[in-house]
Amino acid sequence: MSLADPELSIRRFTVSELRRMKERGILPPQARIELLDGLLVDLPRPSARKIEVVRRLADLLAERLGAPVQGGEPIHPDAYATFDPNLMVHDWETLPLTAPYPLHRFSVEEYHRLGEIGILAAPGRYELLDGVVLEAAHRSPAQRLIDHVVDLLRERAGDAIVSVSDAVRLGPYSLPRPDVTVCHARQDRYRSGPPSGEDVVLAVDVWDGPSDVTHALRWPVYARWRIPIAWLIDPAGGAVHVGKEPSDRGYASTERYRSGETLSLPGPFHDVVLEVDDILG
């Protein structure tokens, strides 16, 4: 899966939004970031040779034109984005449009601040996956099926907390919104902050048809942050795809369950057994 997928809807930004991010300190004022067709990309750190030639060129033009040279020092330590690749699942750098300029990645804190300053004013419309803001609006998984699955899980899984399209905090750069999330019971019902991977028992997504690639982006992130089981319900195909054994490289085991088969939940909920036919309604 790559961002080149036409069905993927990356939140694009405008020039005025980029300026506000710098004014409000979400990006350092001297950040070497370009906005190209609405995509924020990080400029690679220049080589010593490039810096030398840029300086020589600017000085030469300035001298010949009798003009002052302005502009920032290109090697300011805060100017270049740095990310720990071990925290990332998706190789967003493979986007053919922008390669080798990597897409800029926002942390969860920066993403929240974008909401506070009104750039992502309706946070329910967006999710953050590996630092890239995606729009949820293009998906419309069957609401009736989601409601049914929620009712079923609430009924069977007792004191677990079942929620719909709520954010889950997975590491420093991801805040996905699974269609349905089942979390371990907690006194404050996660009012103090979104659940993390270890709080989640099960993440469920409903497939919205051939153009829906959301699960292909979410599953590797779920697995990287150790959500133990993920379901992808395919109502048209009459099946539930189940991902198990989460690892840094995705779910090691994926199986398809069909009519007549049963599914169970992990850990303390292992005695909760659901029929595929019940799930599909």
Partner 1 sequence: MAVAVRRHRFTVDQYRMIQAGILTKEPQPDVTVLRPRADFYRAVHPQPGDVLLVIEVADTTVEPDRRWKVPLSARAGLREAWLVDLNAERLEIYGEAGPAGDPRPRVLSRGEAGAPGAFPDLTIHVADLLG
Give 50 or 258: the residue with its C-beta nearer to partner 1: 50
* Contact between 122 and partner 1 per CB under 8 A: no
Q: Is 216 in the site for partner 1 (CB under 8 A)?
A: no
Cβ-based neighbour number of residue 192 at 10 Å: 8
How far is 187 from 191, CA to CA, in rounded Å?
Answer: 9
Regarding 209 and contact with partner 1 (CB under 8 A), the answer is no
Q: Which two tokens stand for residue 124?
A: 């329910």
Cα 168 → chain centroid: 10
Q: Does 137 bind partner 1 (CB under 8 A)?
A: no
Report the residue number, 50 or 249, with the smaller CB distance to partner 1: 50
- CA distance linking residue 156 with residue 193, whole number of Å: 25
Task: Characterise 31 by phi-psi region: left (phi > 0), alpha (psi -120 to 50), beta (else).
Answer: beta
Selected binder of partner 1 within 5, 23, 67, 124 (CB under 8 A): 67
Residue 76 or 138 with smaller CB distance to partner 1: 76
* Closer residue to partner 1 in complex, CB, 46/123: 46
**Residues 6 to 45 in contact with partner 1, rule: CB under 8 A:** 12-16, 18, 32-38, 43-44
What distance in Å separates the CA atoms of residue 219 and residue 225, rounded to the nearest whole number? 10
Minimum distance from residue 49 beta carbon to partner 1 (Å): 6
Q: What does the chain come to in residues?
A: 281
CA atoms of 225 and 280, how far apart (whole Å): 28
Shortest spacing between CB 36 and partner 1, in angstroms: 6
Q: 15 vs 210, which CB is nearer to partner 1?
A: 15
CB of 44 to partner 1, least distance (A): 6
CA 39 to CA 128: how far, in whole Å? 15
Of 4, 23, 25, 72, which one interacts with partner 1 (CB under 8 A)?
72
CB of 22 to partner 1, least distance (A): 10
Q: Which residues contact 230 (CB under 8 A, 6 or more apart)?
A: 178, 202, 203, 204, 205, 215, 218, 219, 222, 223, 242, 243, 251
Nearest Cα neighbor of 91 from 42, 31, 131, 37 is 131
Q: Which residues contact 37 (CB under 8 A, 6 or more apart)?
A: 12, 97
Which of 66, 193, 210, 260 forms a contact with partner 1 (CB under 8 A)? Answer: 66
Residue 185 binds to partner 1 (criterion: CB under 8 A) = no
Instruction: Name the minimum Å distance from CB 83 to partner 1.
Output: 18
* Nearest partner of 108 among 31, 169, 42, judged by Cα: 169
| Site map 94..113 versus partner 1, x via CB under 8 A | ---xxxxx------------
Q: Tell me, residue by residue from 74 to 93, as one string, x for binding to partner 1 by CB under 8 A and - for no binding.
A: x-------------------
* Interface residues toward partner 1, by CB under 8 A: 12-16, 18, 32-38, 43-44, 47, 49-50, 52-58, 60-62, 64-72, 74, 97-101
